[in-house]
Amino acid sequence: MGQEQTVKPLSVGLRGEAESKVTSELTAERFGNAGAPVYATPMLAALMEQAAIAAVSQALQPGQGTVGTRLDISHLAATPVGMSVRAVATLTEITGKKLVFAVEAYDDLEKVGQGQHERYIIQTEPFFNKIAAKGKK
């Protein structure tokens, strides 16, 4: 007999984390900022989104997912190659299908980012059908 996935209730306070080791492929230099071998802001943003996804992944119903719609962050400090960055997202608001998260990120020594992220709950099949139809136009 297979084990069923336990669905947590979707509630304020859910928390998720994501972590990344900074490599040369993840630096600002790779995004065109010559001479800046530090963790790139777009990678920080992506890590914060991953943390938010993790926060609610066990609370969604089958056939549901989330999509990011807004990200307002400050990149507070640079992180060199070799260090790790850990993002934490905490669900702070649920308004219908809109989810709002407080996001923070830390490297091995200090807080390197903070802000707010919004995601919307979607029904995955209709959403991806709509995208497929859009791609055919």
DSSP string, 15-65: EEEEEEE--GGGBGGGGT-TT--BB-HHHHHHHHHHHHHHHHTTTSPTTEE
**Residue 126 carries which side chain, given as an amino acid letter?**
P
75 classed as catalytic: yes
Please tell me which residue in 75, 79, 117, 118 is annotated as part of the active site. Answer: 75
118 classed as catalytic: no
Please tell me which residue in 27, 49, 104, 118 is annotated as part of the active site. Answer: 49
Residue list, annotated binding site: 68, 119
Residue list, annotated binding site for substrate: 68, 119
Q: What would the two tokens of residue 107 be? A: 């490297």
Residue list, annotated binding site for CoA: 68
Please tell me which residue in 4, 6, 25, 41 is annotated as part of the active site. Answer: 41
Catalytic (active-site) positions: 41, 49, 75
